[in-house]
Amino acid sequence: MGHHSNWPEWIYIGVVIALMTWVGAEAWEVERIVEHVPADAKVIKVVGQQWFWSFEHEDGTTEIGELHVEAGKAYKFEIESTDVIHSFNIHDYVVLMDAVPGRVNTVWFAPDKAGEHDIQCREYCGLIHYNMRGKLIVEDPLS
Amino acid sequence: MVLELQKPRPIWQIMFSTHHTDVGLLYLISSLAFLFLGGTLALAIRAELFLPGAQIIADAMTFNRMFTVHGTTLIFLFIIPFASAVGNYFVPIMVRYKDMAYPKLNAIAFWMIPPAGALIWLGFADFTWYATPPYSIISAPGPAADMWIFGLKILGISSVLGAINFIVTILKCKHPDMSIGQVPLLAWSFLSSSLIILVAIPTFAAALLMLLTDRLGVSGFFNPALGGDPIAYAHLFWFTFHPEVYVLVIPAIGMMYEIIPRFSRKPIFSYGSGVFAFVLLSIVGFSSWAHHMYATGMSFTEKTVFMVGTLAAVPASAMHVFNFLATMWNGRIRFSTPMMWAVGGIALFFSAGAGGVVNSAMPLDFSTHDTYWVVGHFHLFVMGTIAFGSIGYLYYMFPYVTGRMYNEAMGKIHFILSFVGTVLVFFTQHVLGLYGMPRRIFDYPPIPEWIAMNQIASVGAMIIGVSMAVFLANMIHSSAKGTPTDTDDPFGLGGKYYYPFEARNPHH
Ligand code: HEM
Ligand SMILES: [Cu+2]
Ligand SMILES: [Cu+2]
């Protein structure tokens, strides 16, 4: 200690701090934007329970295991659970939000084109957690 | 420096001893036994995931119990007791005291581990290493869950007792001629991690009791059906366990601080920066716990606060990496087995940290959270950094403890296979996470990318398995039949300079 100069370490620490500041600032900015729910988003109630997902659209129609939406529209999920914690996940659209009993968590997305995507549970919820899967079907509004 | 060298004694003399090297030996042997037990579960898990569909594990419940006990075992029954083994052997010698401050307490802290291990293994709970309510309250089968809770309770008390002992030994028992600024970095690592334990563990201890009374139905702290909130448990749990990850990693870094300068035959680049980084980490480490909870429905502000807290801790970790590299720079490096493990560990430490920064950035975490990415991330720490540092240190202390040399070629084979295996398993798991595979699943749909990544990871795990067989054979054979070695300079580094601890603590 003390017999050599420490400036390379100071530069290094400076670089690390600068990098972390940049990561933090970018993350803050992106998250702020993606959390802003569009005013015209349609609400879909999502209920997780051991071990399946059920959905209720604004018009009262319900679905189990499958969710039909239209491309080009924005949707806001209101996520609940009736038993233990689950985590509602559409990985292709980076939709992830825990389904916590006693709370309503929200997250939104806007599918851009028609197609099928996996829905899965990403929080351990017991015996059949591995198969708590569903399908998101994005339809073309014209067809 | 001679730690233990003497005629073999009957086993019960060691078991009933309170001498620090005997307790160290007990910690060492039991932690290695649990390393192999927990590792076997990992191999079974990887074999199961080699292909979609059920392979070798009968059903999902068995699988869930296996990964729960795997994680619990390796964190609480391997990593922490292994550090205690090293601390017991070296801390008293480094501060030039005859034993730990409280030898009987020391033995008691050790002897709490076997019953706790038995509770965890005989119960075989299924609710993951964080026992999340309300699953752990309303769904997890007893008595396994209750046995796990009691097991963890006992382990918590054991580590608090151990921490008190290390703190008192270092601060109060160090030789009067020695200032705190002369205490080696390994001892500083124990001081820092012990202080974290004292502040962090009581919170989880409380949460465990609340979990237990919730399970008994007499309270509803975390049970929404009784007006409780499971997210409160998540906060209490992570308030303890984010700092706890530094409890795991700091001693391993301390071990690298012993190995790197010796085998580089240079003094440490900056002692001051090592101490500073330890202390900083143990303070800032308390400001980031809810980065595990971005997806629980926290507000934007809360998430931001914990992201900043997490990123703020990164420079402290990064300083160690710099210190190691700067120490090696221009050194006359000898790549004996301990040095290979330490250098490999530094490389993986760096990779692990880089992945951690990705998790910390909130929008990215929604891609990685609770996928295999996270499994890869923390295994690069627990396996790549902590187990590597620990195993390197085990090779390093081997001649001092046994008076014999391990087989160098086997030590190097062990390292090379483990390094390749670790990269194959845990780098691949990061990618698997990006493809969206959730963690903790018994079976998965036949998505081609998932199958490919799982197979690479499983092959990597088998390579680690083989390396560990080489390790076991080397340890058993060499401790009985290895070449007797000169304990003044077993690694032929030349000169006493590299072995500063003259002290020898005879049995009293
Ligand atoms: C550069 C330093 C680090 C950063 C930035 C970092 C960041 C993170 C973040 C943000 C998560 C949450 C990921 C998620 O669940 O989505 C996480 C998980 C985790 N980290 Fe780190 N980490 C760092 C160092 C460490 C160290 C040193 C260890 C341990 C020994 C560690 C062990 C863990 C564990 C065990 C988990 C996951 C626990 C679980 O969900 O089971 N991390 N890390
Ligand atoms: Cu689930
Ligand atoms: Cu953490």
Query: What would the two tokens of residue B337 be?
Result: 């087995």
Nearest 5°: the CA angle B423, B32, B386 is 40
Q: How many CA atoms lie less than 13 Å away from A67 in the CB half-sphere?
A: 28
pLDDT of A2 reads 46
Q: Does B357 touch chain A (CB under 8 A)?
A: yes
pLDDT, tens digit, for every residue of B15-72? 899 999 899 999 999 999 999 999 999 999 999 999 999 889 989 999 999 999 999 9
Helical ranges in chain A per DSSP H: 7-34
Q: Does A91 touch chain B (CB under 8 A)?
A: yes
pLDDT, tens digit, for every residue of B87-119? 999 999 999 899 999 999 999 999 999 999 999
Q: Does A49 touch chain B (CB under 8 A)?
A: no
Q: Is the peptide bond before B243 cis (omega within 30 degrees of 0)?
A: no
Write the residue in A6, A8, A23 that is nearest to B357 by C-beta: A23
Percent of chain B residues past pLDDT 70, beyond the cut: 96
Q: How many CA atoms lie less than 13 Å away from B22 in the CB half-sphere?
A: 23
Reported pTM: 0.94
Query: Does residue A77 contact residue A95 with C-beta atoms inside 8 Å?
Result: yes
pLDDT, tens digit, for every residue of B264-278? 998 899 999 999 999
pLDDT, tens digit, for every residue of B163-189? 999 999 999 999 999 999 999 999 999
Average pLDDT over residues B448-469: 98
Chain A residues with beta carbon closer than 8 angstroms to that of B314 = 16, 20
Phi, psi (degrees; rounded to nearest 5) at B311: -65, -30
CATH of the domain spanning A42-139: 2.60.40.420
DSSP element (H, E) containing A43: strand A42-49
Atom of ligand 1 nearest to the CA of B128: 41
Q: How far is the CA of B377 from the centre of ligand 1 (A)?
A: 7
Q: How far is the CA of B199 from the centre of ligand 3 (A)?
A: 16
Report B:53-72 residues touching A (Cβ under 8 A): 60-61, 64
pLDDT, tens digit, for every residue of B393-439? 999 999 888 889 999 999 999 999 999 999 999 999 999 999 999 99
Look at residue B471 and tell me whether its pLDDT is greater than 60. Answer: yes
Look at residue B498 and tell me whether its pLDDT is greater than 70. Answer: no
Mean per-residue pLDDT over chain B, rounded: 94
Query: Does residue B237 contact residue B229 with C-beta atoms inside 8 Å?
Result: no
Residue to substitute in B368, B371, B380, B381 for testing ligand 1 pocket (most ligand atoms within 8 angstroms of CB): B381
pLDDT of B506 reads 58
Predicted ipTM of the assembly: 0.94
Instruction: Nearest chain B residue to A17 by CA: give it.
Output: B315
CATH class of B11-497: mainly alpha
pLDDT of B227 reads 93
Residue to substitute in B128, B292, B382 for testing ligand 1 pocket (most ligand atoms within 8 angstroms of CB): B292
Rg (CA), chain B: 22
Phi, psi (degrees; rounded to nearest 5) at B93: -65, -40
Look at residue B503 and tell me whether its pLDDT is greater than 60. Answer: no
Ligand with minimal distance to B251 CA: 1
Write the residue in B60, B297, B366 that is nearest to A100 by C-beta: B297
Of B418, B405, B423, which is closest to residue B336 (Cα–Cα)?
B405
pLDDT of B501 reads 57
Report d(CA B410, CA B425) in Å as an integer: 22
Average pLDDT over residues B249-255: 98
pLDDT of A137 reads 97
Say if ligand 1 is within 6 A of residue B353 CB: yes
Look at residue B504 and tell me whether its pLDDT is greater than 90. Answer: no
Q: How far is the CA of B291 from the centre of ligand 3 (A)?
A: 6
pLDDT, tens digit, for every residue of B127-164? 999 999 999 999 999 899 999 999 999 999 999 999 99
pLDDT of B2 reads 45
Q: Does A99 touch chain B (CB under 8 A)?
A: no
Report d(CA A141, CA B393) in Å as an integer: 64
> In which band, very low, low, confident or very high, does the pLDDT at B505 lie, cut at 50, 70 and 90?
low
DSSP element (H, E) containing A47: strand A42-49
DSSP element (H, E) containing A54: strand A52-56
pLDDT of B13 reads 85
Chain B residues with beta carbon closer than 8 angstroms to that of A106 = 297
pLDDT of B141 reads 93
Our CA-based measurement puts residue B323 at a distance from the nearest CA of chain A, in whole angstroms, of 8
> In which band, very low, low, confident or very high, does the pLDDT at B312 lie, cut at 50, 70 and 90?
very high
Sheet holding A52-56, edge to edge: A62-64, A52-56, A42-49, A75-81, A105-109
Look at residue B3 and tell me whether its pLDDT is greater than 60. Answer: no
Write the residue in A21, A85, A96 that is nearest to B132 by C-beta: A85
Query: What would the two tokens of residue B440 be?
Result: 């903790």
pLDDT of A26 reads 95
Closest C-alpha to ligand 1, atom 2: B353
What does pLDDT average to in each consecutive run of 10 residues of chain A (143 residues)? 71 95 96 93 97 97 96 97 97 97 96 96 96 96 78
Residue B80 to residues B10, B83, B157, B245, B494: CA-CA distances in angstroms? Answer: 27, 5, 13, 10, 33
Q: Is A118 helix (H, G, I), strand (E, B) or coil?
A: strand
Beta-carbon separation of B361 and A50 below 8 A: no
Instruction: Nearest chain B residue to A117 by CA: give it.
Output: B436
Q: Does A38 touch chain B (CB under 8 A)?
A: no
Chain A residues with beta carbon closer than 8 angstroms to that of B367 = 91, 94, 96
Residues whose CB falls within 8 Å of the CB of residue A114, separated by 6 or more in sequence, listed in order: A71, A138, A139, A140
Q: Is A51 helix (H, G, I), strand (E, B) or coil?
A: coil
Say if ligand 1 is within 6 A of residue B49 CB: no
Look at residue B1 and tell me whether its pLDDT is greater than 60. Answer: no
pLDDT, tens digit, for every residue of B366-376? 999 999 999 99
pLDDT of B7 reads 62
Domain limits of chain A? 1-36, 42-139
Domain limits of chain B? 11-497
Beta-carbon separation of B361 and A23 below 8 A: yes
